[in-house]
Chains A and B, each alone.
Chain A
Amino acid sequence: MSERDLDLQLIHRIQRGEQIAFTLLVRKYQNRIANILTRYIRNSGDIPDVAQEVFIKVYKALPGFRGESAFYTWLYRITVNTAKNYLSSQSRRPPTSDIDALDADHYDGSDALRDIGSPEALLRSEEIKNVALNAIAQLPAELKAAITLRELEGMSYDTIAKIENCPIGTVRSRIFRAREAIDKQLKPLLEA
C-alpha cells in the first residue's frame, strides 16, 4: 500500500482525532456497503440500520487498525459479519415487530433511517442513476474510455496512459473532465 492510498491517509487522520476524515470514509464506502448488504438482507428497509451498525463498528475498531490488510478487505469482513449477525438475530426474534400503540408516540428508533428506504427515496435514487448513466453515455469517446478504464477496470493512470498512448497528465485531465461533465448533471439533482 502506497502513501498515496487515500484510505490510509484518511485513517491516519481519524487516528489523530480528525472526525471529519471518518465522515469522508463513510461517504466513500456507504454505497458499496449497502450493495454488499443487499446480498444478505432481503428487506431493503433494514439495510440502512445494518449499514449504520457496520460503520459504528468500524469507528470503534479503527484505532486498532494497523493497515496489515487493505482497508476495504477489513471493511468487507466487518460488513459480512454484521450482516450474518443481523440474520441470526432476526431468526431468534419473534416475527412481529409491531410497536404498541401507547409507545408509538415516543418511538424514535431510526425513523430517519427508515425514510431512506421509502418508495419516494427509491424513485429519487433511480432518477439519480439514470441522469448519471445518460451523462456518461454522452461523454466524448476519449473521456468515456479514460473514466471507464479507471472506474470499471480499476487501472492506474500509468496503465491507462500506456493503453491510450498518451501522457499520464492527459489521463488525469480526461478522467477529471469526465467526472466534471457527469457531476454537472448530478449536482443540481442532489442539491435539490
Chain B
Amino acid sequence: MNEHNEQLSALIDNELDNTQIMDALVQSVEQQDTFSRYHLIGDIMREEAPNILLDIDFSAFVLAQIEKDNQTLEVPVDFIKMKKNNILSFTKRFGQYAIAASVAGVVVLTSVMMSQPNGSNTHDGLEVLSTIPLGGAASPVSLRTDTQESPVLTKEQKKRTEALLKDHQLQIQIQP
C-alpha cells in the first residue's frame, strides 16, 4: 500500500505517467480518499482552503445535481415539443388571420376608392391620394370631394365585399 501511495503522491505532483496507477486510483475508493487528503494537505499549506468544503466530498453533491438536472431535462422534452407545436400552430393560425385581414382591408379600400368618380383625385394638376375614411366621410379643407355616388353601384360593391369576407372566414373555419 505504501508503494502505491508513494506512486500516487508522485502522480499528484505530475511526476509520474503511469496508466496502471491511474487505473488503480479510479477503481479504489481508498486510493481516492488518499488522493483527496493529499490534495487537502497542499491546499491547507498554501492557505487555499477556506473553512468551507474542507472535510466534504463535494463531488457527491455535484454529481447528484447533475443527475437531477438530467432528470428534469428529460421530463420536459415532450413538454417543450408540445409547447413548440402549439406555438407553431398559433403562429400559423395568426398568419392566416393576418392574411385574411390584409385581403379584407385591401378589398374595402379598393372598393371605397373605386366608388369615387373619376377626376376627383386630381386637383389643379396635382395628384393627391384621395380616400374616404372607413369610419365616415371626412372632408379635408384642402381637398374637395364629390359625394355623389350611384346607390346601385355602392350596394353591389358592398355585396361583393361581404361575399369575399364570408368566403374567407369559411376557409379559415374549414382549415384545421
Beyond A19-B63, A31-B43, is A44–B35 a contact (Cβ under 8 Å)? no
A125 touches B14 (CB 8 A): no
A4 touches B16 (CB 8 A): yes
Interface string of B53-77 (1 = CB under 8 A from A): 1111111111101100100000000
Q: Tell yes or no: B17 within 8 A of A by CB.
A: yes
Most buried by B among A2, A21, A34, A157: A34
Partner of B62 from the list A59, A121, A173 (CB cut-off 8 Å) is A59
* Chain B residues, Cβ within 8 Å of A125: 49-52, 54-55
* Chain B residues, Cβ within 8 Å of A35: 43, 48-50
Could you tell me the distance between the alpha carbons of A127 and B110 in the complex, rounded to whole angstroms? 88
Partner of A148 from the list B17, B36, B37, B45 (CB cut-off 8 Å) is B45
A2 touches B14 (CB 8 A): yes
Q: Distance in Å from the Cβ of B22 to the closest Cβ of chain A?
A: 6
Partner of A183 from the list B12, B25, B38 (CB cut-off 8 Å) is B38
Q: Tell yes or no: B6 within 8 A of A by CB.
A: yes
* Chain A residues, Cβ within 8 Å of B51: 44, 121-122, 125-126, 129
A1-39 contacts to B, CB under 8 A, are: 2-6, 9, 13, 18-24, 26-28, 30-32, 34-35, 38
A152 touches B41 (CB 8 A): no
* Chain A residues, Cβ within 8 Å of B54: 31, 124-125, 128-129
Beyond A4-B17, A124-B55, is A129–B44 a contact (Cβ under 8 Å)? yes
* Chain B residues, Cβ within 8 Å of A48: 52-53, 58, 61
A183 touches B43 (CB 8 A): no
Q: Distance in Å from the Cβ of B174 to the closest Cβ of chain A?
A: 48
Q: Tell yes or no: A156 within 8 A of B by CB.
A: yes
* Chain B residues, Cβ within 8 Å of A87: none
Could you tell me the distance between the alpha carbons of A80 and B126 in the complex, rounded to whole angstroms? 68
Q: Tell yes or no: A112 within 8 A of B by CB.
A: yes
CB nearest neighbor in B for A12 = B22
CB nearest neighbor in B for A9 = B22
Q: Tell yes or no: B11 within 8 A of A by CB.
A: yes
Most buried by A among B22, B42, B58: B58
- Extra A-B contacts (5), CB below 8 Å, given A9-B17, A180-B5: A31-B39, A48-B61, A112-B61, A147-B41, A186-B40
A residues at B contact (CB < 8 Å): 2-6, 9, 13, 18-24, 26-28, 30-32, 34-35, 38, 44, 47-48, 51-52, 55-56, 59, 112-113, 116-117, 121-122, 124-126, 128-129, 132-133, 136, 147-148, 150-152, 156-157, 172-173, 175-176, 179-180, 182-183, 186-187, 189-190
A-B CB proximity, top 5 nearest: A23-B59, A26-B59, A125-B51, A125-B54, A31-B43
List 12 A–B pairs whose Cβ atoms lie within 8 Å, in order of A's numbering: A4-B14, A22-B59, A24-B35, A27-B58, A28-B36, A52-B58, A56-B66, A113-B61, A121-B52, A125-B50, A151-B45, A190-B55
